[in-house]
């Protein structure tokens, strides 16, 4: 694993296409097989430390690229999600309150061992826990800052069941970036996301986080049936809540049980939408077919600091 700290841990939660769909993909959506010493080192470290990775659980299309370059995705609160979103490949299961309290320590060990200067962590939704797992998230951020004080932490959270108290617990631990994905436009949210999620709830979470002074970030998948005016409306909704950073990527269907792809958005369209999002006032935007929630995460964070004059 690269020990220079130049590579962030990268989060990606949207899944790749099924094998049956691969042949029908447009030319601009291609991934390469894993290879090289770094890929082997990341895989070995993940296994040795018993860590869950979104790369594997969500079958991320960037796994080969990230692991071969010495980066990985770390997922908190286990690898089973209590929700069933129409787009997601992560396994749905009710863990009945089971939590591995050693997880924060193992993650801090991994980050210290890899010498990372910027780390991005995510979670599975845990509706079986009274606080949605907020205490574990906060403990992990606190432990990371204690052991690696020079490391910046980006935390991608679920909606924490809309609990302001749970969100406050997380924010009190001091993540440099608080991210939460809107996922799609308002009209499609009820059919794309689990019934317990909500467009307005997500906006409220981001607004509360912004109110504490945290850098805030969100992500939207394209190709689900949204229209450009709906996207522009979503951009405005996010900006009115003070969201600093945005990523836009192509939805790729995990399998036949998941929501079909409505269309494949071209790189040229992504470039135009990026310009529209920047014009809406975001400090930084990444947009492209294989862009995922934490693509170029450190660079986006630095763009937010620049916009704030810090």
Q: State how far the Cα of 286 lies from the Cα of 296, in Å rounded to an integer.
A: 8
Angle, alpha carbons 90-242-180 (nearest 5°): 10
CA Rg value for the chain: 18
Is 121 within 8 Å of 11 (Cβ atoms)? Answer: yes
Residue-wise DSSP of the chain: ---SS-S-B----S----HHHHTTS-TT-------SHHHHHHHHHHHHHT-B-HHHHTT-TTHHHHHHTT---EEES-S-BS---TT--SPB---TT---TTHHHHHHHHHHHHT-SEEEEEE---TTSTTTTHHHHHHHHHHHHHH-TT-EEEEE---GGG-HHHHHHHHHT--SEEE---BS-TTTHHHHS-TT--HHHHHHHHHHHHHTT-EEEEEEEESSS--HHHHHHHHHHHHHTT--EEEEEE----STTSPPP--PPPHHHHHHHHHHHHHHT-SEEEESTT--TTTTHHHHHHHHHHHTT-
Residue with tokens 């993650």: 107
| Distance (Å, whole) CA 208 – CA 160 | 13
Give the residue among 143, 173, 137, 174 at the shortest CA–CA distance from 156.
137
Residue (of 84, 88, 75) closest to 16 by Cα position? 88
- pLDDT at residue 11, as a whole number: 31
- 23 burial level (CB within 10 Å; 0-12, 13-18, 19+): exposed
pLDDT tens for each residue of the chain, 310 residues long:
333 333 333 333 334 444 555 557 888 886 555 555 555 655 666 666 665 554 444 455 555 555 554 455 678 998 889 999 998 878 888 989 999 889 899 889 888 877 778 888 989 999 999 999 999 999 999 999 999 998 899 999 999 999 999 999 999 999 999 999 999 999 999 999 999 999 999 999 999 999 999 999 999 999 999 999 999 999 999 999 999 999 999 998 888 889 999 999 999 999 999 999 999 999 999 999 988 887 788 889 999 999 988 7
List residues bridging with 289 in a β-sheet. Answer: none
Q: Around 94, how many Cα atoms within 13 Å sit in the side-chain half-sphere?
A: 3
Structural tokens at position 19: 């094998």
Strands 152-156 and 284-287: unpaired
Structural domains for the chain: 19-307 (3.20.20.70)
Cβ neighbours around 255 below 10 Å, total: 13
CB 133 within 8 A of CB 169: no
């Amino acid at each position: 694993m690269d020990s220079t700290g130049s590579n962030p841990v990268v989060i990606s939660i949207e899944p790749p296409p099924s094998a049956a769909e691969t042949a029908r993909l447009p030319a601009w959506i291609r991934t390469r097989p894993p290879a090289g010493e770094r890929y082997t080192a990341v895989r070995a470290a993940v296994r040795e430390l018993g860590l869950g990775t979104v790369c594997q659980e969500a079958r991320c299309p960037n796994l080969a690229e990230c692991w071969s370059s010495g980066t990985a995705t770390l997922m908190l609160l286990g690898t089973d999600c209590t929700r069933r979103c129409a787009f997601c490949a992560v396994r749905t299961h009710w863990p009945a309150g089971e939590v591995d309290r050693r997880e924060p320590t193992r993650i801090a060990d991994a980050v210290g061992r890899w010498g990372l200067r910027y780390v991005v962590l995510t979670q599975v939704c845990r509706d079986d826990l009274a606080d949605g797992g907020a205490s574990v998230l906060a403990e992990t951020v606190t432990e990371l800052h204690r052991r690696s004080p020079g490391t910046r932490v980006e935390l991608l959270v679920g909606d924490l069941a809309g609990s302001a108290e749970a969100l406050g617990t997380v924010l009190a631990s001091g993540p440099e970036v608080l991210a939460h994905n809107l996922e799609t436009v308002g009209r499609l949210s009820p059919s794309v996301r689990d019934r317990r999620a909500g467009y307005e709830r997500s906006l409220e979470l981001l607004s509360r986080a912004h109110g504490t002074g945290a850098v805030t970030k969100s992500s939207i998948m394209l190709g689900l049936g949204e229209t450009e005016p709906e996207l522009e409306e979503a951009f405005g909704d996010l900006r009115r809540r003070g969201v600093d950073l945005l990523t836009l990527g192509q939805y790729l269907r995990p399998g036949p049980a998941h929501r079909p792809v409505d269309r494949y958005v071209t790189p040229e369209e992504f470039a135009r939408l990026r310009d529209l999002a920047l014009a809406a006032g975001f400090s930084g935007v990444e947009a492209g077919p294989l862009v995922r929630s934490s693509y170029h995460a450190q660079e986006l964070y630095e763009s937010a600091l620049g916009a704030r004059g810090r």
